Amino acid sequence: MRIPRSKLHARVYHFIRYLNVNKRQDDKIELIPYIQENRNNVSFIHNAKSDIDHPELSSRLKIPLPPGYQGKPARDLLGEVIRPWLALLQKDFDFGFAQIAQYDVISFRVYLHLIAGWPHKVIDFVELMTSQTNQFDLSFIEIIMQNLDFNTQNWATIKGGMSRLVWSAVQLVGFENIHINARVHKIIEGQDGRVTLQTTGSHGGTFDKAILAIPPAALHRIHERPTWSFMKEQAIRSMHFEPLYKLVSRS
């Protein structure tokens, strides 16, 4: 995993600094540069090594694109659509977000076809070369916000692996405060704003706040929970998880 050096991820860096201040000095989390792109990167497409940024890639792969889209790398085609939105967000985030929110009800694929006027062949080609399958079925806002991060020039990762961040937090919280197989079956919101969790074991309790870091399907399996506002319930139902798989080979 990698972390962009952007304001959107400032809380992550603050959290790392907090862990480093409050743990052993000889076990600090060390951030190192992450190389996002390298000229040695190659893609294997149609049984051949290819440069996805080559302007004639579509013709080499015998993918028939309309004349207005030929001779352009897929990344450049995508940039023509998203760069104006990214510039708007970087200039005035609140105003820019209000502008992209008008397309919140459609997927990025629908936006490309109906708003940007792209033929389906172009959409499939650009998705194949720049992202994973079905990525463009995510909402328009999701794609724009993802690219707001990926447009960042400088990235970092954790020396020794990102799991060191989790283990540092575990050591700070204490193993005695982490309970495995304690299934939550009831969530109660008190009038004072505090939250009570009841579990199948003896590890429940009342807390100032509770963060449910679980998939929506797991939330629906909790037998008793509050009924939240319509917008919050709709947001929970609309959450989409992407099953991503990465395969790395080294020679």
Q: pTM score, two decimals? A: 0.72
Does residue 194 lie within any of the structural domains?
Answer: yes
Does residue 164 lie within any of the structural domains?
Answer: no
The DSSP output letter for 162 is T
Contacts of 142 (CB under 8 A, 6+ apart): 108
91 shares its domain with 122: yes
> What pLDDT is recorded for position 242?
67
Could you tell me the residue range of the domain that residue 151 belongs to?
A: 3-156
Report pLDDT digits (tens) over 26-72: 788 999 999 877 777 778 887 878 888 888 888 888 888 999 999 99
118 shares its domain with 184: no
Does residue 163 lie within any of the structural domains?
Answer: no
pLDDT above 90 for 18: yes
Distance CA 32, CA 156 (A): 6
Report pLDDT digits (tens) over 109-155: 999 999 999 999 999 999 989 888 888 998 999 999 888 877 778 89
Does residue 190 lie within any of the structural domains?
Answer: yes
Contacts of 27 (CB under 8 A, 6+ apart): 168
Distance CA 53, CA 142 (A): 24
- C-beta separation of 59 from 78 below 8 A: no
Does residue 214 lie within any of the structural domains?
Answer: yes
227 shares its domain with 144: no
Q: Dihedral (C-alpha) 118, 122, 126, 129: value to the nearest 10 degrees?
A: 180
Picking from 90-104, 199-213, 230-244, which range would have the lowest pLDDT averaged per residue? 230-244
How many structural domains compose the chain? 2
